[in-house]
Amino acid sequence: MIILDDRGNSPKYLEAKLPGLTNTTVHITRLLKGDVYWEGQEQCWGELKSADDLVTSLKSGHMQDQEARMLELPGRKFLFVEGELRAGYRGETYAEVKAASPQITVTGWKATTHMFRKFRKHEFPYSAVTNYLARLQDFGFVVLHAAGPFELVGVIAATYKRSLKDGPARVVRQKAATLDPRVAAANSLYPGVPYKALESLVNNYWRDPICIPEDVKIKDLTNLPGVGRTTVRKVTGR
């Protein structure tokens, strides 16, 4: 189950859309801390902020208070930011204002929905916003951005499903194949010759590093895997 705070951003919209993407129920109630909560492999707490609300909260100090309360909680913490943040020419912050509702234009039999983006200017340094978000991550918060309500649903759903898995995915680094030192030596003498060709020549004619008898026919060389006429010319001069 995903629990949404009844005072958070768009609880009704999230309640309607999240079940279809998460295959779980969504319940709206009053949370003492945070805007969204669920239990995955560990407890997960999320704060939902529009871009404009984030900057306003930073200016008032309310965001810092919310952060301190969230840090007291066990488990993982997420900050979901909906909307875009931009820097002004003087370093001020422009924050996208959440649209109350889309506007619909009807032309003949065709209805088109428009989402107009509006930004509010804040006399608050853009660098302070980005530094704050970076500091949150230092404290263990996961900061995630969404362009709008539709994207926010997808981000929360993906985060929820990821939290149900046993642990963080690990990138398995494959062990690099060990380069034959004979091929490495031949490569230094004949740069530009393909590895496969050098490997074939070394395996058949290795003599510190390659010694090809003069009586060996060119056809015999070009029959080796990866060896072509150009390679023979580079290695033998023939």
**Vertex 65 angle, CA 62 and 66, to 5°:** 90
Residue 156's pLDDT band (boundaries 50, 70, 90)? very high
* Sequence ranges of the domains in the chain: 2-87+127-163, 181-236
pTM: 0.63
Residue-wise pLDDT tens digits, 181-206: 667 766 666 666 777 777 777 777 76
How many C-beta atoms surround the C-beta of residue 67 within 10 A?
18
Q: Is the peptide bond between 213 and the residue preceding it cis, with omega within 30 degrees of 0?
A: no
Whole-number Å distance between alpha carbons of 205 and 181: 15
Q: Is 77 helix (H, G, I), strand (E, B) or coil?
A: strand
Residue-wise pLDDT tens digits, 20-65: 888 888 888 888 888 899 998 889 999 999 999 999 999 888 888 8
Strands 43-50 and 76-82: parallel
Name which residue leads in pLDDT, 149 or 174.
149
How many C-beta atoms surround the C-beta of residue 8 within 10 A?
18
> Do 26 and 1 form a contact (C-beta atoms < 8 A)?
yes
How many C-beta atoms surround the C-beta of residue 89 within 10 A?
5
Residue 81's pLDDT band (boundaries 50, 70, 90)? very high
Give the C-alpha distances (Å, rounded to integers) separating 29 from 3, 6, 17, 129, 188.
7, 5, 17, 30, 70
The mean per-residue pLDDT over the stretch 72-91 comes to 90
> Do 44 and 38 form a contact (C-beta atoms < 8 A)?
yes
User: Under CATH, which number does the domain 2-87+127-163 receive?
Assistant: 3.40.50.10130
Percent of the chain with pLDDT over 90: 22
Q: Which two tokens stand for residue 148?
A: 């709008």
Average pLDDT, the chain: 80
Q: What is the pLDDT of residue 179?
A: 61
The mean per-residue pLDDT over the stretch 75-99 comes to 88
Residue 216's pLDDT band (boundaries 50, 70, 90)? confident
Q: Which of 151, 132, 127 is nearest to 57 (CA)?
A: 132
